Amino acid sequence: MGQRTGAKVGLFWFSGLNGDQAIDSVSRRLLAGGYNLTDNATLNRAVIDTRFNAQQITTDSLAKLRTETGIDFLLVGSSSALLGVFNFAHAKMSLTLIDVRGGNVLWSKRCGNSIWNGAVGTLDEIEVGARYLVQEFDRECRAQVKGKL
């Protein structure tokens, strides 16, 4: 596992189908890349305490979350279900980076298999989607996130 450096990042739980598997995979990959992730239990407790709602993010709610956790950035993800051919389920995945201080969306990426209308399979393909999202995050946001201390 890489040494943790840079700004503190909170990884908000993934909404949708296989959200637990998606967040576990993304979290493992970010930690292996040396990102300074806040403990999920700490973030989840703060989310409950501050009544944080990812669907209605405000600068006030982000400020409360930052006070409770010390995070500088928040990653919000989703994995949404689609029914595919032969009843084989698929899911679109996305990841969004929010600057907690200003409330601005700094980066967002979606992934999926274009053959299945932008979907990735819900089992092993969640790992493929997580790998893609974290690689893109690392390529496009590493300097910004790791550079802020």
| Distant-in-sequence, close-in-space partners of 90: CB < 8 Å, separation ≥ 6 | 81, 82, 83, 84, 112, 113, 116, 119, 120, 121, 122, 125
- DSSP per-residue string spanning 36-93: EEPPHHHHHHHHHHHT--TTS--HHHHHHHHHHH--SEEEEEEEEEEE-GGG-EEEEE
42-45 contact pairs (CB < 8 A, 24+): 42/69, 43/10, 43/11, 43/12, 43/69, 43/71, 44/13
Adjacent-strand bridge partners of 104 = 99
Q: Is 3 helix (H, G, I), strand (E, B) or coil?
A: coil
What is this structure's pTM?
Answer: 0.82
Give the chain's domain count: 1
Is residue 81 within 8 A of residue 90, CB to CB? The reply is yes
Q: What is the pLDDT of residues 31-48, one digit of tens each?
A: 999 999 998 888 888 888
Q: What is the pLDDT of residues 60-111, one digit of tens each?
A: 888 888 998 999 999 998 887 665 555 455 667 889 999 999 889 999 998 8
Q: What is the CATH number of the domain that holds 118?
A: 3.40.50.10070
| φ/ψ of residue 25, rounded to 5 | -65, -45
| 118 has pLDDT over 50 | no
Q: Which residue has 């989703």 as its token pair?
A: 78
For residues 112 and 125, the answer to whether their CB atoms sit within 8 Å is no
In the prediction, which pLDDT does 122 show? 54
Domain, as residue range, for 95: 5-147
